[in-house]
Amino acid sequence: MTTALRETAPSVRDVSVFGDAIAYFNEAADLLELDGGMRRILTHPSRQIIFSIPFQRDSGEFEVYTGYRVQYNFARGPAKGGIRYHPGVTLDEVTALAFWMTWKCAVVDLPFGGGKGGVTCDPATLSSNELERITRRYAAELVEVVGPDKDVPAPDVNTTPQVMAWFMDTYSMHVRQNMPGVVTGKPLEIGGSRGRVEATGRGVTICALDEMAEMGLRPEEATIAIQGFGNVGRYAAKLFKDRGCKVVGISDVTGAYYNEQGINVYGAMEHTSKFGTLEGFKGGDRITNTELLTSPCDVLVPAALEKVFTAEIASKVQAKLLVEGANGPTTPEADRIFREKGIVVIPDIMANAGGVTVSYFEWAQDRMGYFWKEAEVNEKLEDFLLSNLRAIRAIANSRHATLRTAAYTLAIDRVVKASLLRGIYA
Ligand code: GLU
């Protein structure tokens, strides 16, 4: 099974994702004139855990999957970051994602470090009972190293509030007390936060609209294309539409659709709730994934996986603004091309930070045992995102840097200050 899963991973993913991530870090570290020792520390993960997840198929057969948790950095607080269930999950990918979580939490000033987890599996081939068994075993393997003050997982690609509920229950059973604060992204009934489900998509739109205003692009005149229609893409599409923008392109793993007149976003959401995917959606012309990424639009939102923009695709992108709903969608070569072409990029660690920001609110609410109204969550979310987006913009302007380098600069500076205050325990 494991071999088969590896074979399904696209070859571009074989090039180190963590290597690309480090390239972005180095640019900002140069700007900050960060010394070699601190660079060495910050480019090494604190802890990487790999383990086997044996489980029983509904058919009675036993299988073994591989689970990972990387706790990248703890300088600003407990590790924080999602758990991904996907055939392409590798240690390299999880490490890169944990690295990005470190800067993402720092850039929006959350009291967390960075972490990420994953299981190399294809949830489309698993029943709900099989997913539950895998999740419980995954959680049980991590009992000693996760917890509200140690490491707080959350949803990521293909993991849902239900998966978080199973994780929380397994952990709580092991430690013999109810521990909602061990994970975020839980269902509302068991300590979830209002607004968490839409939070990443909401954050994408908040950042995009603020930057559009900066560029003089009015929402009613703007066209948007979104790659991915999962938890990030679908809510971003809905919120763009609600703000008067025209969503002209959408896609998921089954295909992409373009409609110059505007996609019926609510219709697409209904379609996916009914059929699981966009397959068979009639609301636009069927196009390829590459055509979607290079389609005529003002704002382009990659909201799927890493390494979507190769140099070749980047050179054909027509959008004026790129808002990275996904983690790591842009390779460093593509980033250079965007810079040359004058395409503004709101980097992943800022653009998709809405999810982890509301995760922070959930963690805080769980610890207080007092839950906020949705309007309060959304208002605080906007405040966290906009104040830091504007701080990044100010750095970008004063240092003549891109928003990405500015975001890393702000984040690295915050992590370095925390590390130096605590001191390196050697
Ligand atoms: N998986 C999301 C991310 O990449 C959310 C993480 C969290 O809420 O901890 O940012």
Q: Catalytic one among 116, 186, 241, 307?
A: 116
Query: What is the CA angle 336-341-346, rounded to 5?
Result: 65
Residues 221 and 330 in one domain: yes
Residues 108 and 214 in one domain: no
Question: Is residue 159 in contact with ligand 1, taking CB distance under 6 Å?
Answer: no
Which pLDDT score, from 0 to 100, does residue 12 have?
A: 41
Tokens representing 206 are: 């908040």
Q: Is 150 assigned a catalytic role? A: no
Q: pLDDT for 171-180, tens place per residue?
A: 999 999 999 9
CATH code of 294's domain: 3.40.50.720
CA–CA distance from 352 to each of 215, 309, 356, 376, 389 (Å)?
A: 20, 17, 8, 20, 12
- Ligand 1 atom closest to 360 (CA): 8
What strands, in cross-sheet order, belong to the sheet with 223-227? 285-287, 255-258, 246-252, 223-227, 299-302, 321-323, 344-346
Question: Is residue 115 in contact with ligand 1, taking CB distance under 6 Å?
Answer: no
420 found inside a domain: no
Residues 309 and 225 in one domain: yes
What is the 3-class SS of 125-155, one letter each residue?
Answer: HCCHHHHHHHHHHHHHHCCCCCECCCEEEEE
Give residue 408's pLDDT band: very low, low, confident or very high (50, 70, 90).
very high
- Ligand 1 atom closest to 359 (CA): 8
418 found inside a domain: no
On whether the CB atoms of residues 150 and 122 are closer than 8 A, the answer is no
Nearest CA to ligand 1 atom 8: 356
Q: Phi and psi of 360, rounded to 5°?
A: -60, -45
State whether residue 86 is helix, strand or coil: strand
Question: Is residue 199 in contact with ligand 1, taking CB distance under 6 Å?
Answer: no
Give residue 243's pLDDT band: very low, low, confident or very high (50, 70, 90).
very high
Looking at residues 235-243, what average pLDDT do you find?
A: 98
Residues 92 and 161 in one domain: yes
Domain boundary among 351, 379, 395: 351
19 found inside a domain: no
Nearest alpha carbon to residue 324 among 219, 403, 221: 403
pLDDT of 11 strictly over 70:
no
329 found inside a domain: yes
pTM of the model: 0.95
Report how far ligand 1's centroid is from the alpha carbon of 60 (Å): 34
357 found inside a domain: no
pLDDT of 8 strictly over 80:
no
Domain boundary among 318, 351, 384: 351
Looking at residues 106-119, what average pLDDT do you find?
A: 98
Report how far ligand 1's centroid is from the alpha carbon of 104 (Å): 9
> Mind giving me the DSSP string for 208-223?
HHHHHHHHT--GGG-E
- Non-local (6+) Cβ contacts of 422 within 8 A are 75
On whether the CB atoms of residues 142 and 71 are closer than 8 A, the answer is no
410 found inside a domain: no
Nearest alpha carbon to residue 153 among 186, 125, 122, 201: 186
Q: pLDDT for 278-333, tens place per residue?
A: 999 999 999 999 999 999 999 999 999 999 999 999 999 999 999 999 999 999 99
State whether residue 65 is helix, strand or coil: strand
Query: Tokens 């072409």, residue?
Result: 341
Report how far ligand 1's centroid is from the alpha carbon of 80 (Å): 8
Looking at residues 194-198, what average pLDDT do you find?
A: 98
Nearest CA to ligand 1 atom 9: 81
**The amino acid at 419:** S
Residues 220 and 143 in one domain: no
* 300 DSSP β-pair partners: 225, 322
Give residue 397's pLDDT band: very low, low, confident or very high (50, 70, 90).
very high
Q: Phi and psi of 288, rounded to 5°?
A: -85, 165
Question: Is residue 102 in contact with ligand 1, taking CB distance under 6 Å?
Answer: no
Residue-averaged pLDDT of the chain: 95
Lowest mean pLDDT among 8-17, 105-114, 216-225: 8-17
Residue among 110, 159, 200, 360 whose CB has most ligand 1 atoms within 8 A, to mutate: 200
Cβ atoms within 10 Å, residue 1 = 12
Residues 169 and 80 in one domain: yes
Tokens representing 167 are: 């994780």
Q: pLDDT for 186-195, tens place per residue?
A: 999 999 999 9
Domains of the chain: total: 2
- Ligand 1 atom closest to 353 (CA): 10
Which pLDDT score, from 0 to 100, does residue 290 have?
A: 96
Residues 172 and 228 in one domain: no
Residues 178 and 305 in one domain: no
Which pLDDT score, from 0 to 100, does residue 426 have?
A: 83
pLDDT of 252 strictly over 90:
yes
128 found inside a domain: yes
Which pLDDT score, from 0 to 100, does residue 3 have?
A: 31
Which pLDDT score, from 0 to 100, does residue 192 have?
A: 98
Instruction: Domain of residue 284: give its range.
Output: 199-351
pLDDT of 13 strictly over 80:
no
Which pLDDT score, from 0 to 100, does residue 15 have?
A: 62
Query: Tokens 């070859």, residue?
Result: 11
Question: Is residue 359 in contact with ligand 1, taking CB distance under 6 Å?
Answer: yes
Question: Is residue 356 in contact with ligand 1, taking CB distance under 6 Å?
Answer: yes
Report how far ligand 1's centroid is from the alpha carbon of 197 (Å): 11
- Ligand 1 atom closest to 185 (CA): 8
CATH code of 178's domain: 3.40.50.10860
Looking at residues 105-122, what average pLDDT do you find?
A: 98
411 found inside a domain: no
Looking at residues 197-215, what average pLDDT do you find?
A: 98
Question: Is residue 184 in contact with ligand 1, taking CB distance under 6 Å?
Answer: yes
CA–CA distance from 208 to each of 10, 61, 80, 212, 389 (Å)?
A: 30, 48, 24, 6, 10
Domain boundary among 188, 223, 243: 188
Q: pLDDT for 331-382, tens place per residue?
A: 999 999 999 999 999 999 999 999 999 999 999 999 999 999 999 999 999 9
Residues 207 and 331 in one domain: yes
Q: How far is it, in rounded angstroms, from Cα 338 to Cα 321?
A: 10
- Ligand 1 atom closest to 156 (CA): 1
